[in-house]
């Protein structure tokens, strides 16, 4: 069949070669785009942040700034906006400290297997709220959780919640206590704050529109 | 179980070991799924003891592992028949099986009893890596790579020595890519965007590229085996399938890069290529039916008996053709455009697609391969369906389809209420979770999960007894 075929459309050799070429081309294209994407999503530096150079994934020191999520007319989606200085746990982190805290946060996120209940950047499990913009969630910002946990700041409230979610539950479906230490909880808060500053091309859309309607104050348009 | 004396080749005996573990793990997967589904309905069920994340983790890990076992088993089964040679270096392959099975046992025990650990690289190395589907700790990753290397050596050395059929050409190249991709999931990074970028290389480039091509290849083998399909036609189709699957599936990866911090150009690329992904699935569907019809036509014309030599395997193969097309093709296409995906991303809709696709594309055909192996084990010309075969197919497929429909409804409600109307967030999430449509859908999912589980029990029962039934005459 291989050689004595008259039509190319029924020639195995033709299809084998085409398959190899198409696959090869797809792989090359993917490689090129991967190089470009890696360049665009590498973590920014403190210098870039200070000079207002936007990075899709900003420097860890972004945790020293106020972050909001606003509609961008040009891009037609909501984007994170990095504002004035806003200390975390009443402290300004040096690039090295911020880096270490973020590292510990990401490590805690994996070691406690948060991904098998929550989504982050929309990927993971669907048993609990998406954590991409958790730092900006109205419940942390409108006083609900702060007063419930008897805290002064939202980061303090988050730490208390993460260390003891069972005591501060708001729904029948509770988050369990995962044996998170204070240090780990603080690192998780830094990780979540940093994540909220990642440019996700507008996901989630109209973030917490509901609470704007309810006058809760939000970061959506 | 059954004596293995009818099997012609040593590697086919090893295949039976792999299939046996696969079937056991399939059962474990379903039990864990039922626990997870029950936790949606009764959140206090096993709360603080065996939390949702643990039941879910074991559920999806058991799935990935049983499927890999069944895939390896399928290769050990078909390799000597295709190449005409006994598998080379099989004694290492046998050791690898026990090493792998021991490692899997330890990993599962640690998942169940240790569960999670402190924020320390030791946890990543020895307990849980905390990344969906590839939670296995790093030591196990390395063990898996070592075992797969042995397996690949078996395959490659045999391929070198024996007949190089088209099916084997595809398999040998595909398995290399499949194994290599696993390495993309074996590193730690603080950058969650880069983390997810490479994580999808494992997940997507497995299920939507290399695993699909694997299915194309073993479906080809099965067609030749079950209905005596013409090899030239099967192999020509196989190359066309490879062309279309890799041509669309590799760049289709872009549909996971819409929102994870990666650049906007992935919108267009992901939308374009992933929209083409259903095309080969239609082709595979047509192919199976075409070959079946063709062979049946031939034998009917000659007034012979039906060409069907293994009707349970053929039934699962047909179910594969439909399920792959429905679960991956249709349910996948539903949410693959960025305009839709921005609302459906990470909702129960994704879970609906995940269930029907994994079941339709993989669980089905691998079950079919197990029936082919059972035929070899019994050593008879024709295997016919028993009542149990039919009932198990009916229960399992209805159960999974039912779960999918229920989750689709839940996802639809979640998409409209939580995402489109309320814009996501903590409160929006729970408002949508607590609406009656959603709650009822979760109830139906659980019920349909029970139906699936009953089907599984019938399936195992059938697998253990079909041999006797054939001898007594169905
Ligand atoms: C007894 C039947 C089953 C039940 C009750 C069940 C239940 C579940 C539950 C509760 C989840 C978690 C979803 C979430 O995060 O909200 C899940 C996830 C999953 N299950 Fe099942 N399952 C069953 C059977 C299956 C089968 C047969 C397959 C495939 C062969 C499968 C594949 C998956 C996959 C791939 C996921 C992850 C989905 C995603 O992340 O989108 N399950 N299942
Ligand atoms: C057999 C083949 C396939 C399997 C087994 C499969 C399985 C899955 C699973 C399990 C997920 C959820 C991943 C997670 O846990 O986050 C997923 C996501 C997704 N799949 Fe597939 N899939 C297949 C084919 C396809 C095809 C052909 C398409 C498109 C035409 C598609 C489109 C998608 C999209 C867009 C998502 C992302 C969902 C989201 O944004 O949450 N899939 N797939
Ligand atoms: Fe995909």
pLDDT at A217: 40
Find, among B98, B96, B106, B198, the residue nearest to B145 by Cα: B96
Nearest CB neighbour to A171, from listed B52, B246, B430: B430
pLDDT at A216: 45
> How much of chain B, in percent, has pLDDT values that exceed 70?
99
72-131 in chain B: CB under 8 A from chain A: 115-121, 123-124, 127-131
Is the predicted pLDDT of residue B78 greater than 60, yes or no?
Answer: yes
Is the predicted pLDDT of residue A187 greater than 80, yes or no?
Answer: yes
Boundary-marking domain end, from B259, B281, B307? B307
Domain annotation covers residue B10: yes
Write out the residue range of the structural domain in which residue B49 sits: 1-163
85-114 in chain A: CB under 8 A from chain B: 99, 102-104, 106-114
The predicted model scores a pTM of 0.96
Domain annotation covers residue B3: yes
d(CA B93, CA A68): 56
- Label residue B1 by pLDDT band (50, 70, 90): very low
pLDDT tens digits for range B332-346: 999 999 999 999 999
Q: Partners of A78 in the beta sheet?
A: A71
Query: The domain A60-215 belongs to what CATH superfamily?
Result: Cytochrome c-like domain (1.10.760.10)
pLDDT at A214: 54
d(CA B140, CA B118): 19
Is the predicted pLDDT of residue A164 greater than 60, yes or no?
Answer: yes
Task: Give the best-scoring range by mean pLDDT among A197-211, B9-23, B297-311.
Answer: B9-23
The stretch A17-22 carries a mean pLDDT of 96
The stretch B200-204 carries a mean pLDDT of 97
Helix (H, G, I), strand (E, B) or coil at A78: strand
Domain annotation covers residue B49: yes
Question: How many domains in chain B?
Answer: 3
Same domain, B98 and B23: yes
Q: Which of A38, A110, A154 to mutate to test the interface with B (most CBs of B within 10 A)?
A: A110
Helix (H, G, I), strand (E, B) or coil at A217: coil
So where are chain A's domains?
Answer: 8-40, 60-215
pLDDT at B274: 97
Distance from CA of B322 to the nearest CA of A (A): 24
Q: Which of residues A35 and A215 earns the better pLDDT score? A: A35
pLDDT at B3: 63
The stretch B8-20 carries a mean pLDDT of 96
The verdict on a CB contact (< 8 Å) between A117 and B56 is yes
Q: How far is CA B383 from CA B44, B228, B312, B314, in A?
A: 47, 14, 7, 10
The verdict on a CB contact (< 8 Å) between B430 and A208 is no
Is the predicted pLDDT of residue A1 greater than 60, yes or no?
Answer: no
Helix (H, G, I), strand (E, B) or coil at A67: strand
pLDDT tens digits for range B250-295: 999 999 999 999 999 999 999 999 999 999 999 888 888 888 888 8
Q: Is the dihedral of CA A63, A65, A69, A74 positive or negative?
A: negative
Find, among B141, B109, B107, B138, the residue nearest to B123 by Cα: B138
Same domain, B17 and B145: yes
- Label residue B75 by pLDDT band (50, 70, 90): very high
pLDDT at B467: 85
Domain annotation covers residue B182: no
pLDDT at A8: 83
Is the predicted pLDDT of residue A159 greater than 60, yes or no?
Answer: yes
Distance from CA of B60 to the nearest CA of A (A): 10
Average pLDDT of every residue of chain B: 95
pLDDT at B132: 97
pLDDT tens digits for range B395-427: 999 999 999 999 999 999 999 999 999 999 999
The stretch A202-211 carries a mean pLDDT of 85
pLDDT at B300: 86
Same domain, B268 and B386: no
Give yes or no for a contact between A195 and A168, defined as CB atoms under 8 angstroms apart: no
Domain annotation covers residue B173: no
CATH number where B463 lies: 1.20.210.10
pLDDT at A197: 98
Q: Partners of A123 in the beta sheet?
A: A120
pLDDT tens digits for range A96-153: 999 999 999 999 999 999 999 999 999 999 999 999 999 999 999 999 999 999 999 9
pLDDT tens digits for range B287-333: 888 888 888 888 888 888 888 899 999 999 999 999 999 999 999 99
Same domain, B473 and B414: yes
Nearest CB neighbour to A26, from listed B239, B251, B426: B251
Long-range contacts, A26-35 (Cβ 8 Å, 24+):
A26/B246, A26/B247, A26/B250, A26/B251, A27/B250, A29/B251, A30/B250, A30/B251, A30/B253, A33/B265, A33/B266, A33/B269, A34/B197
The stretch B154-167 carries a mean pLDDT of 96
Is the predicted pLDDT of residue B80 greater than 60, yes or no?
Answer: yes
Residue B29 Cα to ligand 1 midpoint, Å, equals 9
Same domain, B2 and B148: yes
Q: How far is CA A14 from CA B6, B241, B250, in A?
A: 40, 13, 21
């Amino acid at each position: 069949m291989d050689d004595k075929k008259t039509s190319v459309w029924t020639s195995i050799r033709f299809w084998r070669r085409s398959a190899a070429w198409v696959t090869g081309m797809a792989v090359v294209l993917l490689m090129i785009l991967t190089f470009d994407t890696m360049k665009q999503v590498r973590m920014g530096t403190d210098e870039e942040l200070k000079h207002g150079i936007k990075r899709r994934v900003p420097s860890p020191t972004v945790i020293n700034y106020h972050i909001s999520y606003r509609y961008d007319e040009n891009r037609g989606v909501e984007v994170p906006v990095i504002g004035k200085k806003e200390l975390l746990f009443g402290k300004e982190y040096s690039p090295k400290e911020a880096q270490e805290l973020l590292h510990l946060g990401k490590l805690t996120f994996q070691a406690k297997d948060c991904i098998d209940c929550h989504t982050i950047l929309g990927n993971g499990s669907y048993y609990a709220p998406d954590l991409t913009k958790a730092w900006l969630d109205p419940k942390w910002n409108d006083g609900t959780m702060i007063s419930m946990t008897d805290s002064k700041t939202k980061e303090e409230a988050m730490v208390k919640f993460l260390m003891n979610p069972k005591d501060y539950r708001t729904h029948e479906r509770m988050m369990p206590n995962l044996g998170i230490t204070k240090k780990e909880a603080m690192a998780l808060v830094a990780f979540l704050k940093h994540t909220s500053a990642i440019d996700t091309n507008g996901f989630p859309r109209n973030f917490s529109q509901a609470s704007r309607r309810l006058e809760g104050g939000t970061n959506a348009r | 179980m059954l004596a293995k004396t009818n099997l012609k080749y040593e590697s086919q005996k090893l295949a039976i070991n792999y299939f046996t573990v696969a079937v056991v793990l399939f059962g474990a997967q379903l039990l864990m799924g039922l626990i997870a589904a029950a936790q949606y309905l009764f959140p206090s069920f096993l709360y603080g003891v065996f939390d949702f994340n643990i039941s879910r983790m074991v559920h999806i890990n058991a799935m990935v592992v049983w499927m890999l076992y069944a895939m390896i088993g399928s290769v050990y089964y078909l390799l000597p028949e295709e190449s005409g040679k006994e598998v080379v270096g099989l004694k290492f392959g046998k050791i690898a099986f026990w090493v792998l099975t021991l490692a899997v046992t330890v990993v599962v025990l640690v998942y169940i009893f240790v569960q999670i650990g402190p924020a320390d690289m030791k946890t990543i190395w020895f307990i849980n890596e905390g990344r969906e589907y590839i939670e296995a700790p790093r030591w196990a990753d390395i063990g898996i790579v070592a075992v797969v290397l042995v397996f690949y050596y078996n395959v490659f050395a045999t391929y070198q020595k024996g007949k190089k059929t088209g099916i084997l050409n595809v398999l040998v190249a595909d398995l290399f890519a499949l194994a290599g991709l696993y390495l993309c999931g074996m590193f730690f990074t603080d950058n969650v965007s880069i983390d997810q970028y490479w994580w999808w290389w494992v997940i997507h480039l497995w299920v939507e590229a290399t695993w699909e091509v694997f299915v194309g290849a073993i479906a080809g083998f099965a067609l030749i085996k079950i209905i005596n399909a013409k090899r030239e036609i099967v192999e020509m189709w196989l190359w066309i399938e490879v062309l279309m699957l890799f041509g669309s599936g590799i760049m289709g990866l872009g549909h996971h890069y819409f929102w994870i911090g990666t650049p906007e150009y992935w919108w267009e690329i992901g939308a374009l290529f992933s929209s083409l992904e259903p095309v080969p699935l239609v082709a595979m569907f047509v192919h199976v039916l075409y070959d079946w019809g063709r062979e049946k036509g031939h034998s009917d014309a000659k007034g012979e008996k039906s060409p069907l030599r293994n009707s349970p395997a053929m039934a699962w193969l047909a179910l594969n053709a439909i399920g792959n097309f429905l679960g991956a093709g249709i349910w996948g296409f539903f949410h693959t455009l960025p305009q839709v995906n921005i609302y459906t991303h990470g909702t129960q809709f994704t879970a609906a697609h995940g269930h029907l696709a994994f079941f339709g594309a993989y669980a089905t055909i691998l079950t079919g391969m197990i029936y082919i192996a059972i035929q070899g084990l019994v050593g008879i010309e024709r295997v016919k369906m028993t009542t149990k075969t039919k009932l198990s197919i009916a229960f399992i497929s209805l159960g999974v389809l039912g779960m999918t429909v229920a989750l689709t409804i839940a996802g639809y409600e979640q998409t409209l209420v939580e995402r489109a109307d309320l814009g996501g967030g903590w409160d929006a999430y729970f408002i949508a979770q607590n609406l009656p449509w959603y709650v009822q859908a979760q109830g139906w999912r659980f019920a349909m999960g029970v139906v699936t589980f009953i089907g599984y029990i019938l399936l195992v029962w059938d697998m253990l007894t079909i041999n006797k039934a054939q001898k007594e005459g169905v």
